[in-house]
Structure 1
Amino acid sequence: MIRLDNIGKQNGKQIVFIEASAALLKGEKIGLVGPNGAGKTTLFRMITGEEPPDEGQVSVDRGITIGYFSQDVGEMEGRSALAEVMDGAGPVSVVAAELKELETAMADPERADEMDAIIERYGEVQGRFEELGGYALEGRAAEVLAGLGFSQEMMDGDVGKLSGGWKMRVALARILLMRPDVMLLDEPSNHLDIESLIWLEAFLKGFDGALMMTSHDRAFMNRIVTKIVEIDAGALTTYSGDYEFYAQQRALNEKQQQAQFERQQAMLAKEIQFIERFKARASHAAQVQSRVKKLDKIDRVEPPRRRESVSFEFQPAPRSGEDVASLKGVHKSYGSRTIYEGLDFHVRRRERWCVMGVNGAGKSTLLKLVTGATEPDAGTVAVGGSVKMAYFAQHAMEVLDGERTVFETLEDSFPQAGQGALRALAGCFGFSGDDADKRCRVLSGGEKARLAMARMLYDPPNFLVLDEPTNHLDIATKEMLIAALADYEGTMLFVSHDRHFLAALSNRVLELTPDGIHQYGGGYTEYVARTGQEAPGLRS
């Protein structure tokens, strides 16, 4: 269906692709992976024709429809979310828009004299709408939006009033409703809660077209893709299997290449030693010449390219008391909406609570109550003795000073720390070399999240409260964070939609549901086994 043959592409001074080749065949589901800046979005733009390659060829079979979801959703306003989604479905959306206009005209008393013509036209347009499957389309659009977490009120409301994350969901819903022959999805799992993620997973598994996608959620990718295309140093390498298989295969290939490189280096050293030792002796001239020629002909094995993988280790945190946080008889409402009524909840030392619940259940509110960022309407919230708390909230990234560099931000936070220690800290969180001198205003969402995390973890707290800490983080940074937090000796309370993160780090689950609040001993994996569901919103 789509072929890339010997593609070459350069952006400014950066070489993105060199003689790179790959293919997307009918019905295939491919995960596109590679470090940030490797060229994943450039590849999508070349397939859609938005950017031509400098060399080589991109071939798309005649008549193929392509739906491309990117993070840049553009302007949306003045229509309902439902109308915006249906607008992506081709000719039927134009007919639907006219039908709406005619319905408005029929209800307008000032146009009574035109009524016969309006009714006649309405009949024609309605017939065409039915012919194109328009009534079924509205139902399908509503189904897709509901799957992505929209209430009926949000579907009918002005799309322009939605936040950026919800507009992303509208743009994604347009592509899903379109059901093209090929879907190109650039980070579709961003901004989705766990229920929407699981719904999207099922939708994409059932999609019979071809799919190529990027995602920072490894559990999501593992369940959908059957092939991985990796972008690394300008080349495209294809692996058959899911993300887990790719990670194992890549590690094995690197190990084999390293062993091959070392064997060849040892052989070369031996040959060079012989040449050096006997080059001045006439009696060995023929042997020396023969070995020099042999060395010239050898194909040199390159050492495996080292991916920059960094690790972060916590300094030992001061020990807290056994009772870390306690909520007794807590009531909390926003306007007429009651979030908590008589909540009792206790966090003890070394417990790692993950908080589960649908949108609006009060997950972030609970974290705000515990950290003192919001006050209860009634009841008490107490933090135990010797507790040193750190809170990662979504707004933690917004309070960074745009004019300060990454390094200056760390220096401001830890004036007593040495330059070397702060450079090492910056490196652990992906800011090595010149990246440490970037101003905060030019940082991407992922970079801001990493910097906020670095500030929080350097001077170790013994109680970590984290609200969606993995949003914006790529797979490699998530792995580093999980490894660091797995060895962390303190207490944790967190909200996350990343199932790999939940399974790796939780040892308690607090579930917020309309039927009440449930507490489970054992982590997320045990919760799934016990309830038979991956999230509370999926209960039938």
Structure 2
Amino acid sequence: MILLQVQQVMRRFGADVLFDNVQMDIQDHARVALVGRNGAGKSTLLKMIAGETVPDEGQISMRKGLTIGYLAQDQGLDSHNTIWEEMSSVFAELHKLEAQMHQLEARLSDPAVIANEADYQQTLKTYDQVQTDFQQRNGYGYQAEIRGVLHGFQFEADVYDKSVTELSGGQKTQLALAKLLLEKRDLLILDEPTNHLDVETLTWLEGYLQSYTGALLIVSHDRYFLDRVVSEVYDLSHHDMVHYTGNYDQFVQKKAARIQAEWKHYEKQQAEISKLEDFVNRNIVRASTTKRAQSRRKQLAKMDRLERPDSDDKTAHFGFHAAKQSGNIVLTVKDAAVGYAGQILSEPDNLNVKKHEAVAIVGPNGIGKSTLLKSILGQIPFIKGQATFGTNVVTGYYDQEQKNLHDKKTVLSELWDEHPTTPEKDIRTILGSFLFTGEDVDKPINALSGGERARLLLTKLAMQNDNFLILDEPTNHLDIDSREVLEVALNDFDGTLLFVSHDRYFINQVATSVVEVSPSGTELFLGDYDYYLDKKQEQAEMAAAAESVAAASAAAANPVTSEAAAPDNRSKGQQSYQASKQQQRDKRKLERSVANLETKMTDLETQAAAIQEQMAQPEIFADSAKLQDLQQQLEAVNAEQAQAENDWTEQAEALEAFD
């Protein structure tokens, strides 16, 4: 059932059109992502759908009685209530029912009511009705529900009585989202809900949204988050919108295939246009051929010319290069402690970074990840230990707080002042590759957006030609396209990387190893983010199994239990641990297999569509031999696709059995 439709919607800013003829359907229980470059109009469209603004043209229609919850970007909760009072206010109707139940309970114990049989029975009947309604609406469980959501956002019982006014901006935003989740609207519209969330909270939120009963419409730069939550994507670009089915990864593949097909059609038409124009130019003045030339001219005039694909897209294109190579050992940190004013956040911290490695540092907010980077750079002293750099190591630093920029300078002077011997033309060219063109270079830095400041910092970093880049949250403020460009640039970098990031997709694309920071120090994982997650899960399983074995051993040591039973209990505990571990391995193997089959089915679907497109072309249709060859290819792809679907069904059912 369709909850909401966006029909031919347009938004203008003065004489400029931000987007036009936008169409969108949101079905019941849909999981929709809205993606596009910064400035494409995503937040503007969300505000229209949420009813905060109206379109310049077109209309937005919705099902009668539809309830919508909307979280704007960095929208904090504004309330003088305590945290618990604010969350509890969502259940005001339950509070009324609860009060009514207590009133009825008081009446049922009133001697006057008890003495009047008819009055007593009527009161009892009313009480049963109210109690049933209260129970069906989770009256006995709503407080546990509140505690569960608050716990997911890292709000524990000791802060429930804290006033919302005392919270930080990020905490107020998290609380606003928590309240929306508890309200259970039919459609939840979230604009960058992952801002200010650490990885643990993000993982919890993904799980919660996967089981959310209503529909979701989400704008997010967190591609890992989108991969796990959404099942369809609307791409807002070139002033219009294109719809894709699948998660973010599948969207990327399908969009690339579509653009490739568009280029093919465009180039084919351009060749045809060139051929027709050439004929007209050569034959229009000849009496014997002028009629044919005029016919070609009319054909050109009637032709529906295709636009050049991505003609209005601007993409940053840059790279990092090391002016000289470092030694094999780049950085060593041994048994260090980081923190402030004698308060240790993490200890012992150990790092051994070698040439050409890309090491990601992860951990919860406030654990000292950025502090560790600053201690390595000498900006904050280690409480214990020190950092030792290797031979010929030259460091470049990206500061997430963007303090390495001078607000009173212009974009051009910020770069040129550091490289005064470089010609202005070259400086402008470099800035252009980071999307600073024309009058952009004369903007004062204090007038730049967060994304523009991030690109300027990356420009400065690229010009330094360092061989060891230390990056603190480099993807903050960047749109998805800029993040992908940065990933390519870092993967092509001929130096070494050490970086802190909450962007799990980015870590997967760039990192060769992951270092987790915790109060008990650092732990190294020799793989990407998904590998790190697998290992953490294995560790949790082993810990749980060890507890089971310990419990069995403790039970065996109990005097009530015979001596002969103790070895048997330990054996059973060990067997239980091994069985649990094997079961988890089998489950992860099936999960990977199902994901691979889904990717394979998408690829085969794209191949089949491309073959069918070829078969529909007039020149192919007229060539029976070629047509037969393509038909055989199509049948082979269809057969492979059918087999993949069968395999997927079997393995998906097997995976469900684990649950």
Residue 81 of structure 1 pairs with residue 83 of structure 2:
yes
Match of 2:513 in 1: 508
Q: Distance in 2 between matches of 1:294 and 1:509?
A: 61
Aligned residues of 1:142 and 1:155 also touching (Cα < 8 A): no
Match of 1:495 in 2: 500
RMSD value over aligned CA atoms? 3.0
Equivalent runs, 1:393-412 vs 2, <5 Å: 393-395=399-401, 397-412=402-417
* Post-superposition offset of 1:206: 0.8
Q: Distance in 2 between matches of 1:324 and 1:178?
A: 52
> Which secondary structure state, in structure 1, belongs to the residue aligned with residue 281 of structure 2?
helix
> Which secondary structure state, in structure 2, belongs to the residue aligned with residue 532 of structure 1?
helix
Over 6 Å off, 4+ runs: 93-96, 129-132
Give the structure with the higher percent strand: 1
Judging changes above 3 Å, is the alpha-carbon distance between structure 1 residues 285 and 181 closer, same or farther for their aligned structure 2 residues?
A: same
Match for residue 392 of structure 2 among 386, 390, 411: 386
Q: Distance in 1 between matches of 2:15 and 2:408?
A: 26
Rg bigger for which structure? 2
Match for residue 194 of structure 1 among 196, 199, 205: 199
Residue 210 of structure 1 pairs with residue 215 of structure 2:
yes
Equivalent runs, 1:349-388 vs 2, <5 Å: 349-388=355-394
Aligned residues of 2:347 and 2:522 also touching (Cα < 8 A): no
Aligned residues of 1:342 and 1:379 also touching (Cα < 8 A): no
**Please, which moves more after superposition, 332-341 or 145-154?**
332-341
Judging changes above 3 Å, is the alpha-carbon distance between structure 1 residues 342 and 284 closer, same or farther for their aligned structure 2 residues?
A: closer
Judging changes above 3 Å, is the alpha-carbon distance between structure 1 residues 270 and 207 closer, same or farther for their aligned structure 2 residues?
A: same
Stretches of structure 2 lacking an aligned partner (at least 5 in a row): 100-130, 545-659
Aligned residues of 2:76 and 2:173 also touching (Cα < 8 A): no
Q: Distance in 1 between matches of 2:278 and 2:350?
A: 76
**Please, which moves more after superposition, 229-238 or 317-326?**
317-326
**Please, which moves more after superposition, 62-71 or 264-273?**
264-273
Equivalent runs, 1:104-503 vs 2, <5 Å: 136-306=141-311, 307-334=313-340, 337-395=343-401, 397-503=402-508
* Post-superposition offset of 1:15: 0.9
Aligned residues of 1:429 and 1:477 also touching (Cα < 8 A): no
Q: Report the TM-score, using the length of structure 1 for normalisation.
A: 0.86
Q: Distance in 2 between matches of 1:149 and 1:260?
A: 52
Judging changes above 3 Å, is the alpha-carbon distance between structure 1 residues 251 and 15 closer, same or farther for their aligned structure 2 residues?
A: same
* Post-superposition offset of 1:212: 0.9
How many residues align? The count is 509
Match of 2:7 in 1: 5
Judging changes above 3 Å, is the alpha-carbon distance between structure 1 residues 384 and 275 closer, same or farther for their aligned structure 2 residues?
A: closer
* Post-superposition offset of 1:184: 0.6
**Please, which moves more after superposition, 178-187 or 440-449?**
440-449
Seq. identity, % = 36
Aligned residues of 1:190 and 1:472 also touching (Cα < 8 A): no
Stretches of structure 1 lacking an aligned partner (at least 5 in a row): 99-126
Q: Distance in 2 between matches of 1:9 and 1:342?
A: 55
Q: Distance in 1 between matches of 2:493 and 2:196?
A: 27
Matched to 1:360, the amino acid is: G
> Which secondary structure state, in structure 2, belongs to the residue aligned with residue 296 of structure 1?
helix
Aligned residues of 1:317 and 1:489 also touching (Cα < 8 A): no
Q: Distance in 2 between matches of 1:438 and 1:229?
A: 33
By relative contact order (CA 8 Å, sep 6+), the higher-ranking structure is 1
Judging changes above 3 Å, is the alpha-carbon distance between structure 1 residues 286 and 204 closer, same or farther for their aligned structure 2 residues?
A: same
Judging changes above 3 Å, is the alpha-carbon distance between structure 1 residues 464 and 73 closer, same or farther for their aligned structure 2 residues?
A: same
> Which secondary structure state, in structure 1, belongs to the residue aligned with residue 525 of structure 2?
strand
Give the structure with the higher percent helix: 2
> Which secondary structure state, in structure 1, belongs to the residue aligned with residue 188 of structure 2?
strand
* Post-superposition offset of 1:92: 4.7
Matched to 1:283, the amino acid is: S
Match of 1:45 in 2: 47
* Post-superposition offset of 1:176: 1.4
Deviations 1:198-248 (A, max 9, x none): 111111111121111111111211221111112123222211222222222
Q: Distance in 2 between matches of 1:207 and 1:185?
A: 13
Aligned residues of 2:199 and 2:363 also touching (Cα < 8 A): no
> Which secondary structure state, in structure 2, belongs to the residue aligned with residue 458 of structure 1?
helix
Aligned residues of 1:77 and 1:161 also touching (Cα < 8 A): no
Deviations 1:241-264 (A, max 9, x none): 222222222222222222222222
Q: Distance in 1 between matches of 2:421 and 2:83?
A: 52
* Post-superposition offset of 1:514: 5.0
Aligned residues of 1:317 and 1:490 also touching (Cα < 8 A): no
Aligned residues of 1:85 and 1:171 also touching (Cα < 8 A): no
Match for residue 54 of structure 1 among 46, 53, 56: 56
Q: Distance in 2 between matches of 1:331 and 1:201?
A: 33
Aligned residues of 1:188 and 1:215 also touching (Cα < 8 A): yes
